Amino acid sequence: MKHLLVVGSGSGGTLTANLLARSLKGRIHSQEASIDLIGDNPYHIFQPGYLDVAFKGHSPDGLIKPEGSLLLKEVNFRNEAATKIDFAERAVTLASGTKLGYDYLVMATGAVADPSILPGLKEESVNFHTGTKDSVRTWEALQKFKGGKIVLAIAGVPHKCPPSPNEAAFMIDEFYRRKGIRDKVDLTFVTPYPRAYPAETLSNVVAPMFEERGIKVVTFFNAESVDPSIHKMYSLEGDSVDYDLLIAVPPHRGSDVIRNSGIGDQDGWIPADKETMRVAGHDDVFAIGDATSIPISKSGVVAHLQSGVVAENIINAMDGIPLSVHYNGRINCPMELGRHRAIFVSASYTSPATKQTPSFVKYTMKRSFARMYWRTMNGSMEWLMGIYFGKTNSSLPETKELERAAQAQMPAR
């Protein structure tokens, strides 16, 4: 029997397990294969919804479903933390002490937003990246704020959902305009990047809108520490900003199991091939989504598209076909700009993001995806995702002949 382990039950891990289960259904029922999904949270959270909780006051209840309700019956969900991953032993140890061997391993362990990395940040700021409770705290802080200086800061890179800080700025502006006190709120957007948004083409859209709405921008500000006693945030460059309310995107790091296992870089990110997602030196190990050091957006869409590539490559490997399916780096992140308008950050490894015109249609598309999300997790919507995203993976020319030859030798199933 071939044992497949997926560590991490976020969007990437959940979808990967379900895609593998769909392809291996017959082999699972005949006990030729098994799939275990390991996750320490019994619930699955739609993380992009944190923005709506923090800046629109939405209830977090709609963002949460039991993880088991999203999985095909062929997936064995182990609701337990993974504490160690050992490539040499080809095994994953769980918090209970149980050790699971594997033939193929997928690490979808995500990213951890950790305010404690930056001195003073945890004690002094609110944020919308560390969970529903902190998103609610952010909404409560906005409601209580009657005027003064709000600093919305990117306090570390990389971070999950690159467009989210910009979206938050537009939402804050809109919230206080509706309350009728926008003239009493000094709103400053602080970023380590050289412009309002990292991609220049999209910054050319965002920056004029920030200026029009009175949102100040401080660039090249790499946050170093926060002094709660005088309400100042300091940068590595020696600059500082004053605030009355600090809303910060915290520094992010890799998960505890990756760091404790010594298989990531100094920040806990897993080195993986940007096209196959295979971990260097290990034919049987893959990493996807936010967990990797791949220089690409840490977003649910990226994890989703990489899940399909990894699932297909594992199935091929089980059938003796060399790794042949490659991810092309496609990203497609919505950015809400207020006033029921949005754009999409759409690019790939070879095609940079292009300038877009904000529209109500794109805003509606973003809102529609939030409702579709739960259905996409079981893998049944891949046909629709394929229509929308187009071709996001490919087989290398030199492996196509090998693939056809291997398939010709396979017995009929």
For residue range 250-293, list pLDDT tens digits in order: 999 999 999 999 999 999 999 999 999 999 899 999 999 999 99
Confidence band, pLDDT 50/70/90 cuts, at residue 395: low
Which runs of consecutive H residues, i.e. helices, occur in 236-299?
A: 256-261
For residue range 148-158, list pLDDT tens digits in order: 999 999 999 99
Confidence band, pLDDT 50/70/90 cuts, at residue 405: very low
Number of domains in the chain: 2
Task: Give the position of tokens 């080195």.
Answer: 271
| Domain-terminating residue out of 195, 230, 251 | 251
For residue range 20-68, list pLDDT tens digits in order: 999 999 999 999 999 999 999 999 999 999 999 999 999 999 999 999 9
Task: Give the position of tokens 């950015």.
Answer: 335
Q: What is the pTM of this model?
A: 0.93
355 or 399, which is more confident?
Answer: 355
Residue 408 in this model has a pLDDT that exceeds 60: no
Looking at the structure, do residues 59 and 31 belong to the same domain, yes or no?
yes
What was the pLDDT predicted at 384?
74
Residue 395 and residue 325 in contact, taking contact as beta carbons nearer than 8 Å: yes
Q: Which of 36-45, 295-304, 393-402 has the lowest mean pLDDT?
A: 393-402
Looking at the structure, do residues 265 and 401 belong to the same domain, yes or no?
yes
| Domain-terminating residue out of 251, 284, 306 | 251
b/e code 178-188 from CB counts within 10 Å (16+ = b): eeeebeebbbb
Looking at the structure, do residues 157 and 105 belong to the same domain, yes or no?
no
Supply the range of the domain harboring residue 231: 114-251
Looking at the structure, do residues 394 and 276 belong to the same domain, yes or no?
yes
Q: Token pair of 50, please?
A: 């944190």
Looking at the structure, do residues 317 and 213 belong to the same domain, yes or no?
no
How many alpha carbons fall within 13 Å on the CB side of residue 347?
Answer: 17
Segment 106-115 shows an average pLDDT of 98
Amino acid (1-letter code) at residue 315: I
Three-state DSSP at 79 gives strand
Looking at the structure, do residues 281 and 233 belong to the same domain, yes or no?
no
Give the list of residues 6+ apart from residue 251 with CB closer than 8 angstroms, or none. 113, 114, 115, 117, 118, 121, 155, 156, 159
Confidence band, pLDDT 50/70/90 cuts, at residue 394: low
Looking at the structure, do residues 349 and 292 belong to the same domain, yes or no?
yes
Q: What is the DSSP string of 142-155?
A: HHH--SEEEEEEE-
Looking at the structure, do residues 238 and 263 belong to the same domain, yes or no?
no
Looking at the structure, do residues 263 and 399 belong to the same domain, yes or no?
yes
Q: What gap in Å lies between CA 326 and CA 129, rounded to an integer?
A: 30
Dihedral-angle region of residue 166 (phi above 0 means left; psi in -120 to 50 means alpha; beta otherwise): alpha
Residue 245 and residue 151 in contact, taking contact as beta carbons nearer than 8 Å: yes
Segment 377-396 shows an average pLDDT of 75
Which runs of consecutive H residues, i.e. helices, occur in 286-359?
A: 300-318
Residue 106 in this model has a pLDDT that exceeds 80: yes
For residue range 313-337, list pLDDT tens digits in order: 999 999 999 888 999 999 999 999 9
Looking at the structure, do residues 121 and 243 belong to the same domain, yes or no?
yes
**What backbone phi and psi angles, to 5 degrees, belong to 72?**
-70, 155
| Domain-terminating residue out of 219, 251, 283 | 251
Looking at the structure, do residues 225 and 241 belong to the same domain, yes or no?
yes
What was the pLDDT predicted at 58?
97
* CATH code of 105's domain: 3.50.50.60
Residue 404 in this model has a pLDDT that exceeds 70: no
Looking at the structure, do residues 203 and 173 belong to the same domain, yes or no?
yes
